[in-house]
Chain A
Amino acid sequence: MRAEAGVPLGRARFTELSLLVWVAAFAVTGFVAVLATETSSFSPTAAIVPAVFLTLMLALHVFLVGIRFRGDQILMPIAAGLTAIGLILVQRLASDLLLQQLSWSIIAAGAFAATILVPRDLTALARFKWTWALLGVLLLIAPLLPLIGREVNGARIWIKVGPGSIEPWEAVKILLVIFFAAYLEEYREVLSHTQRRIGPFPVPPVPYLVPIVAMWGIAMVVMVFEKDMGATVLFFGIFLAMLFLATGEAFYAILGLTLLILGGFAAYHLFGHVQTRVDTWIRPFDEDLRFDAGFQLVQGLFALANGGLLGAGLGNGMPDRIPVVWSDFVFDAFAEEAGLAGALALLALYLVFLYRGMLIALRAPTPFLQLLAAGLSFIVALQTLVIVGGNLRLIPLTGITLPFVAYGGSSLVTNWMLVGLLLRVSQVSERMRGGGAP
């Protein structure tokens, strides 16, 4: 541990490197534990995976040092640590998908590096806000198109890209944040400086609200058509959060939440798949649900119960009894094998990620960058809370993934790009203030 004097430390990103060493330590340990219990199908590929991954992370670090990147040193190791846990769990739960996840990790690292280098000026992002909005809408609609769209498990959110498929809505959430941040920076004064009030309620200046409500509305409607409850909740949350961040009007937040609950009631009665999800959440152990729609959740809860404090041990539980566990229920699987201790550590990592992201937002010099950083951090936090909440039966289950950890290429790539963007914002702050890198 170095005692820093509060002076810029210069080129070597020591903190980042030392944190990566810790990541390497527990990643290797985790892999060894998981591989040691798979007595039947030991393949040399499995042993190579951690080596490749760690080399990849080291390469990213060297890349950052090489371009003399001055900015946050904590977010990238956290992302690396979470991705490592993800790889360990994929090996444990769906080893045939391991190479795929590793490939996606490499692509994600590339995307991260690209985000660091391009665009040259972050604020330029704000100027193209309508472009992003349009691109976002196109990407959202794409899965509904006949040729390239695909339906999987009742949700039509995929598009075919070459040999594989991606979920474009993952990218859209970032585009949405950029759009909202840019738009709200311009109009935040107008939106919150509400002159007219009816009783205690501020009357929002409607014309200025129209573009963002329209953007949001399109996202919601499309999501309803594509039958993805999780993405709908996420977009709704992003919209409300960005609005609140920009204006500080609690009224918007409360109104929004009320609309969400009302919409939820309507959805329950209108849409069969929503009804199933909510019923399963309320009474999963009932005779008619527990072997059918509620089977996945019930198995997830069994896994949690088996976890106890220290877990059944990596490789020692039975998380594979949960259907599609590698993408929907990784949290429960991790909690079964690493116990409450492991689960809390995992949640803590996301919380620290959130804090670091918000700190970067606080120190950003312009409102656009503040809103951007805060919005991006919010995405990760909300996504985590929604999926873990579903896994823990705190809220109905949705199909979104646990960032970095769950199996899923598009999610991994977009989340690493998100980290890249956050790092870029912190770089701007460092430059403007001439402050020391932590």
Chain B
Amino acid sequence: MTSPIAANIRSLTFTLALAFLVTSIGAAYWTILASDQLANDPFNPRLIAATSSRPRGAIVDRNGAPLATSEKTDSGFARSYRDRTLAQVVGYASTKYGLSGIEAAYADSLIGQDPADPVSIWKARYFGDRAPAGQVMLGIDLKIQKAAADALGGRKGAIVALDPRTGAILASVSVPSYDPNPVVDPSKQDAAFEQLNHDQNRPLLNRVAQGLYPPGSIFKVITGAAALESGFDATKKLRVDDPYQADKSWGDYFVRSASHAHGLFDMADGFRLSENIYFAQVGLTIGAAKLTEYAKRFGVGATPSLDLPAAKGQVSETGSIDRPTLLADTSYGQGELLVSPLQMALIYATIANGGVMPTAHYATEVRDAEGHVVRSIAPGPIGQVISPGTAKTLSAMLVGAVEGQGGFAFGARIPGVQVAGKTGTAENRPGQAPHGWFVGFAPAENPTVVVAVIVENTPEGGVTAAPLGAQVMRAALGK
């Protein structure tokens, strides 16, 4: 006999009820689970509407000097940006093209709804009573910023200066930059945005945090740190003969010394004269696992914690070092390494800070309209990466690299101040000029500023970069 209709009705109803359940779960997903991400989408008209009818909060430097402000015009409020060199950091707030930079990262705070002030969020959401926006204060010091911008000039590259004790970023320059004002002007925004997107030099990129480059010799501090903490004797002299090869299995691959050296070197000499063969031998001695471990401890290959987007570098293509030639190369800063200027600044800040790596951040405070501090942005340090003893030893050797006899980083000397630092000339693509690096800190005995400089494709390499670093440090130290 055929099955009764009643049974079929029951099965069908059950199936439909299941479908309703799935639908309810879907509703719950979009209203609750995925809601934060959607609410902060820069193209969400709710977020945008909350902004254009009222003045947006100002973004200021550490001394209160305005960097981005909302000016009253006939048709509402328009955003005005004061400093071109901070374009990638401050970002833009466009109703059409969304938000970027600090404008995006602190979007809630800039419309008076900072997460640290739930009452204002409640009032805005449920009573339509939006608090007048206060301001977001950055750690940037315009004086240092200007010095950095002037130093780098029109050369492609980046300079970042930060306080090793707190991680606050004092200056951040990425060249080429652009003028963000047309992007937020409704009559000019389409053309401006089109041009920026198609510019081969990528002015929208914040090279400080998002530019990835081979480090070259500045990486040697990591090799040195790994060696020192493995019990390697830094005072032992090693034989250096250019060119160098561990054994015949390397074929026609050799490590070459920048100064075609032949002699005995200890680690201090290695830093002072930036001796690749010395560090290659150190690397081979401590082994790939140790080197990789310390690179990772220093944050290479991980995304640094930052309130703006940051790029993840790499230790090697695969993440590990699997052959001796690659180990040798990586030990003196080439190989397949990729780092950002920010990451390098943090690494040297660790050395400057007794082995404790600080957390980098652009913003330092959020204030309300009356000037009261709503939220203080002072993330604690990431942790103790190396022992204070190791840091001290490395610091002394870095001083030697600048101040010592024949030190390659002599260009970074500042009269009356002990400067610690290292230059790097990083080979990148064959046929292209190398990148010039300098990373250093001052004053060496009690550092208050760390600077990382990279000048893209400059034949003189680190020699070009070092004086730029000095210029920035002088501005920071008030000399």
Residues in A lying within 8 Å of B, measured CB to CB: 188-189, 192-193, 241, 244-248, 290, 298-299, 301-302, 304-309, 312-313, 316, 318, 321, 335, 339-340, 343-344, 347, 350-351, 354-355, 358, 361-362, 367, 370-371, 374, 378, 381-382, 385, 388-389, 392-394
Contacts and interface: CB of A to CB of B under 8 A. Distances in A.
Contacts of B416: none
B382 interface: no
Given A306-B46, A307-B31, A344-B27, A370 B20 contact: no
A304 B5 contact: no
21 contacts: A241-B12, A246-B5, A248-B3, A301-B30, A302-B46, A305-B39, A308-B32, A313-B126, A318-B46, A318-B49, A339-B31, A347-B23, A354-B20, A358-B12, A358-B13, A374-B5, A381-B16, A381-B20, A389-B26, A392-B26, A392-B27
B16 A245 contact: no
A347 B20 contact: yes
Contact of B23 (A247, A308, A394): A394
Contacts of B12: 241, 244-245, 358, 374, 378
B445 interface: no
B31 A304 contact: yes
A222 to B, nearest CB: 26
A181 B188 CA distance: 64
B244 interface: no
The 4 closest A-B pairs by CB, nearest first: A305-B38, A248-B3, A305-B35, A304-B30
B5 A312 contact: no
B38 A385 contact: no
Interface in B39-70: 39, 41, 43-46, 49
Contacts of A358: 9-10, 12-13
B30 A305 contact: yes
A313 B7 CA distance: 43
A28 B41 CA distance: 35
A388 B26 CA distance: 10
A189 B4 CA distance: 11
Contacts of A382: 16
Contact of B5 (A367, A381, A385): A367
A164 B267 CA distance: 90
A389 B30 CA distance: 12
Contacts of A347: 20, 23-24, 27
Contacts of A385: 16, 19-20, 23
B8 interface: yes
Contacts of A247: 2-3, 8
A245 B9 contact: yes
B22 interface: yes
A385 B11 CA distance: 17
B98 to A, nearest CB: 11
B22 A394 contact: yes
A369 B9 CA distance: 12
Nearest to A243: B8
Given A388-B27, A394-B23, 19 more contacts: A244-B11, A244-B12, A246-B8, A301-B30, A301-B34, A302-B38, A302-B45, A309-B31, A339-B31, A340-B32, A343-B27, A344-B27, A347-B27, A358-B9, A362-B10, A388-B23, A389-B23, A393-B26, A394-B26
Given A247-B2, A302-B38, A361-B9, A351 B31 contact: no
Specify which of B8, B34, B46 lies most central, judged by the most chain A CB atoms within 10 Å of its CB.
B8
Contacts of A193: 2
A187 to B, nearest CB: 11
B258 interface: no
Nearest to B7: A248
A351 B27 contact: no
A238 to B, nearest CB: 12
Given A246-B8, A388-B23, A354 B16 contact: yes
A144 to B, nearest CB: 32
Contacts of A246: 5, 8
A371 B125 CA distance: 49
A344 B11 CA distance: 23
Contacts, number: 133
B23 A392 contact: yes
B28 interface: yes
B477 interface: no
B191 interface: no
Contacts of A370: 5-6, 9
Nearest to B27: A343
A367 B30 CA distance: 42
Nearest to A374: B9
A306 B27 contact: no
B13 A355 contact: yes
B17 interface: yes
Contact of A312 (B23, B24, B37, B125): B125
B431 interface: no
A301 B20 CA distance: 19
B31 A343 contact: yes
B430 interface: no
Given A302-B45, A351-B17, A354-B13, A245 B8 contact: yes
Contacts of A392: 23, 26-27, 29-30
B371 interface: no
Contacts of A388: 23, 27
Interface in B87-118: none
Nearest to B4: A248
Contacts of B154: none
A321 B45 contact: yes
B128 interface: yes
A244 B11 CA distance: 10
A324 to B, nearest CB: 16
A299 B128 CA distance: 21
Contacts of B125: 312
Contacts of B43: 290, 298
A344 B9 CA distance: 24
Nearest to B3: A248
Nearest to A300: B30
A41 to B, nearest CB: 18
Nearest to B46: A318
Contact of B6 (A304, A351, A362): A362
A388 B28 CA distance: 13
A193 B12 CA distance: 20
Contacts of A344: 24, 27
A268 B45 CA distance: 32
A312 B128 CA distance: 10
B436 to A, nearest CB: 36
Nearest to A317: B46
Specify which of A247, A321, A339, A392 lies most central, judged by the most chain B CB atoms within 10 Å of its CB.
A392
Contacts of A335: 27, 30-31
Given A245-B12, A304-B27, A343-B27, A350 B5 contact: no
A324 B39 CA distance: 21
B9 A340 contact: no
